Chain A
Amino acid sequence: MRNELNLLELVDRYLEGTMDATERAAFEQRLTAEPELNAMLLDQRSLREGLERIAIRPAVAKAYQAHRFGKWKPWLGGASIVIVAAAGWTLWERMPREAHEEPIIEQVDQVPVDPSSVAPSDTTQRTIPYEVDTIIDTVYRVLENGKWRTVKERPEGAQVMADNVSLSSPIYATSEGTVAEDRTSAHVKRTPLPVRMEPVEIKPEFPGGMGAFYNYLEANIKHPDLTKALNGTVEVGFTIEANGDVSNAEIVKGLNAAYNAEALRVIGSMPKWKAAQQDGKPVPCRLQMPMQFRNPGGDPAPSLK
């Protein structure tokens, strides 16, 4: 401990430039000879930069508040007028300054191919042109009167106050209260994806239609561990029985144990489908589809604001 304390002191003095020429030369010699010391130096430099950064964040938040309301305070009183001003500012910000607003999750408006329009004599594979993509979206929860309320966007001026060890749920603070970031919801991006089916006269259908199927996937697919979210595809196969039950779900091509289990879990928990039909009678039908998992953020750990 004593030794480490002394080393830290040396490193700090080196970083602050308070060593004289001899000391510095000696220290730099040590750096080349002692990789541990060098590592300590690099870490300490980054940490001290990080400390300065986190220390300046409150000034940024205050500046934002001053920017928003500073002009009005000396002239107006009363909360209601401030709210009007805030609303006015918000509206002004929303005015047609922006050429167009593009949502972050792109939905491709594609009409599903009507399966009955595909010739029944197609014996190999019949595909529906949808692609299911899983990306991580973020929702925020605001603590109000002891209860959490979900909001779509992070309240303005929010600054992170604590980051729990799992690295997935930071706590922010605003002047109004506490906000938590929840990155556990998954979203489905709709672009063409092949759901291969055994050729049948009338395809099996998820209750509510294939659009509802993708809604279902959207609501239920999750990365098993958000701190280690991967990019990859799990190919699953399953059977829709003549009574509509989902059965024989299996991994055709897997990713890893956790992701395979997740894919099977989602398939296994589906409600009954409308069974396929051949010659006017319900028949079992085998389906196979890729489930794509993507981690678009690269780093899923929350941002420090």
Chain B
Amino acid sequence: MKAKTTPMNDAELLAAMRQGKAEQAFTQLYRQLPDVMTMVRTHGGRRSDAHDLFQDALVIIHEKAQDPGFMFVGSLAAYLYGICRNLWLAELRAKGRSENHIADLSSTQDDLQLTTENESLNQLAERAFAALGAKCRDLLTRFYLNNESLAAIGKAFGYSGEGATKTRKYKCLEQAREKYRALLSNHQTLHSHA
């Protein structure tokens, strides 16, 4: 049930992302989806590619927004579009096909390549967490993102004390780390074959 609101300007969008109101910012930024969809589909991609790309780009923008010194040329919407274009370019390059699409997309110069080049690498940690059990993920989220105290977390999970909670947290993190390293070495093996 949304009341009609005027669109947020860039400063407001960034503020929303920094104050835990990212969903509002994302909803507005989703207006860029059609343009991204067109770009991807006219360069050898499918609708699902465009959707995936767009989600990744929002996650990237959110990450960038947390840096108080974050700056960009033009509008945030244009920045988002630029991220998407570079992400798609990187994917096409990884697949090693569609030379004309690649040439076409790389003809626009910007400095976003660094941001998007290693996206598949950057996602490995995410995937490590996705492979973790829900309990571990919940514990780590409460600790690192919600800044809950060990005592509070211990109570919620029914652990015997701070020490037990701390150990649990460490073990969960170690699990995540192991999965991450496995994904990392797999990623490196494959990319050396490309």
**A complexed with B:** yes
Identify the A interface with B (CB < 8 A). 1, 4-5, 8, 43-44, 46-57, 59-64, 66-67, 70-71, 73-74, 93, 97-104, 153-154, 156, 159-165, 167, 170, 227-231, 295-305
Set of chain B residues within 8 Å of A99, measured between Cβ atoms: 38, 42
Contact status B30-A64, CB under 8 Å:
yes
Given A48-B144, A55-B145, A304-B123, A67 and B96 contact (CB-CB distance below 8 Å)? no
- B6 close to A (CB within 8 Å): no
6 other contacts beyond A5-B167, A55-B145, with CB at 8 A cut-off?
A53-B125, A74-B1, A102-B41, A102-B45, A298-B120, A305-B51
Q: Contact partner of A297 among B59, B94, B130, CB < 8 A? A: B94
**Which B169-194 residues have C-beta < 8 A from chain A?**
170, 173, 176-177, 180-183, 186-187, 189-191, 193-194
C-alpha gap A8/B168 in the complex (Å): 13
Task: Select from chain A the residue with minimum beta-carbon distance to B22.
Answer: A59
Contact status B130-A300, CB under 8 Å:
no
Given A8-B170, A229-B190, A47 and B125 contact (CB-CB distance below 8 Å)? yes
Given A74-B2, A296-B97, A299-B94, A49 and B63 contact (CB-CB distance below 8 Å)? yes
Given A50-B129, A51-B145, A43 and B177 contact (CB-CB distance below 8 Å)? yes
Contact status A47-B176, CB under 8 Å:
yes
Contact status A170-B130, CB under 8 Å:
yes
Set of chain B residues within 8 Å of A73, measured between Cβ atoms: 1-2
Set of chain B residues within 8 Å of A154, measured between Cβ atoms: 48, 51-52
C-alpha gap A94/B95 in the complex (Å): 26
C-alpha gap A163/B128 in the complex (Å): 8
Task: Select from chain A the residue with minimum beta-carbon distance to B123.
Answer: A304
Set of chain A residues within 8 Å of B41, measured between Cβ atoms: 98, 101-102
- B27 close to A (CB within 8 Å): yes
Set of chain B residues within 8 Å of A302, measured between Cβ atoms: 127
Task: Select from chain B the residue with minimum beta-carbon distance to A231.
Answer: B193
Number of interface residues of B (CB under 8 A): 70
Contact status A63-B58, CB under 8 Å:
yes
Set of chain A residues within 8 Å of B130, measured between Cβ atoms: 54, 160-163, 170, 304
Identify the B interface with A (CB < 8 A). 1-3, 22-27, 29-31, 33-34, 37-38, 41-49, 51-52, 55-56, 58-59, 62-63, 94-97, 120, 122-131, 137, 140-141, 144-145, 166-167, 170, 173, 176-177, 180-183, 186-187, 189-191, 193-194
Set of chain B residues within 8 Å of A227, measured between Cβ atoms: 186
Task: Select from chain B the residue with minimum beta-carbon distance to A170.
Answer: B130
Task: Select from chain A the residue with minimum beta-carbon distance to B94.
Answer: A298
CB distance from B35 to the nearest CB of A (A): 9
CB distance from B136 to the nearest CB of A (A): 11
Please list the 6 inter-chain residue pairs (A to B) with the smallest Cβ-Cβ separation, ordered nearest first.
Answer: A50-B125, A63-B26, A67-B30, A298-B94, A63-B27, A163-B131
CB-defined A-B contacts under 8 Å, sample of 11? A54-B137, A59-B23, A60-B58, A66-B2, A67-B30, A93-B37, A159-B55, A298-B95, A298-B190, A301-B186, A304-B126
Contact status A5-B59, CB under 8 Å:
no
Set of chain A residues within 8 Å of B33, measured between Cβ atoms: 67
Contact status A305-B52, CB under 8 Å:
yes
Contact status B52-A303, CB under 8 Å:
yes
Contact status B180-A46, CB under 8 Å:
yes
CB distance from B131 to the nearest CB of A (A): 4
